[in-house]
Amino acid sequence: MFGRLFLLFTLGPLIELALLIYVSDLFGWKTTLGVVISTGLFGAWLVRREGWRAWNRFHGDLNAGRMPADSLVDGLMVFTGGVLLITPGVLSDLIGISLVFPPTRALLRRYARTRIQFRATGFGTGASTSQAASGPHDQIIDVRVVERANPEG
């Protein structure tokens, strides 16, 4: 876990810096700065709109008595996308927009759901066969208990 975090916080900024320098060489520093600022403004508008939609869906699910799982995941994705859009950079802006934009967010939500279900079943975690078999595929045994009125007879 430490290694992944180390890579994320060292390689991530280095890749962002390299991309900013590359884009700046291609289009000039003024255009690059304009793109970074405009994606930040567009991202803030989109996060506000999609954040309210996720919030309203969350409350609608609660009021209807449904579990607001998709609404919570959408809210988390919109929040994460907003943080990435505020962060200056090309790669973070692309990832942030994909987390906030509804069609790509739906694809990412579906992918995350399959990954979570895959891990929850025990596959891909090194769990033993008996541990992987527990879950929705268990055998159901129907039992009926009969009590006698007179236990001695």
Distance (Å, rounded) from C-alpha 58 to C-alpha 68? 6
> 46 in a domain, yes or no?
yes
Supply 149's token pair. Answer: 């009125």
> 74 in a domain, yes or no?
yes
What pLDDT is stored for residue 137 in this prediction? 58
Distance (Å, rounded) from C-alpha 99 to C-alpha 93? 10
**Is there a contact between 100 and 84 (Cβ–Cβ < 8 Å)?**
no
> 110 in a domain, yes or no?
yes
What does the mean pLDDT of the chain come to? 82
Tens of pLDDT, residue by residue over 115-148, are: 877 777 766 555 444 444 455 556 777 778 777 7
Range of the domain at 49: 2-123
> 52 in a domain, yes or no?
yes
Please choose, from the candidates 60, 37, 58, 40, the residue with its C-alpha nearest in 3D space to the C-alpha of residue 48: 40
> 137 in a domain, yes or no?
no
> 139 in a domain, yes or no?
no
User: Structurally, how many domains does the chain consist of?
Assistant: 1
Q: For the chain, which residues score pLDDT lower than 50?
A: 127-133
Supply 138's token pair. Answer: 């268990």
What pLDDT is stored for residue 129 in this prediction? 45
Show contacts of 41-45: CB within 8 Å, 24+ apart. Answer: 42/97, 43/81, 43/82, 43/85, 43/86, 43/93, 43/96, 43/97, 43/100, 44/82, 44/85, 44/86
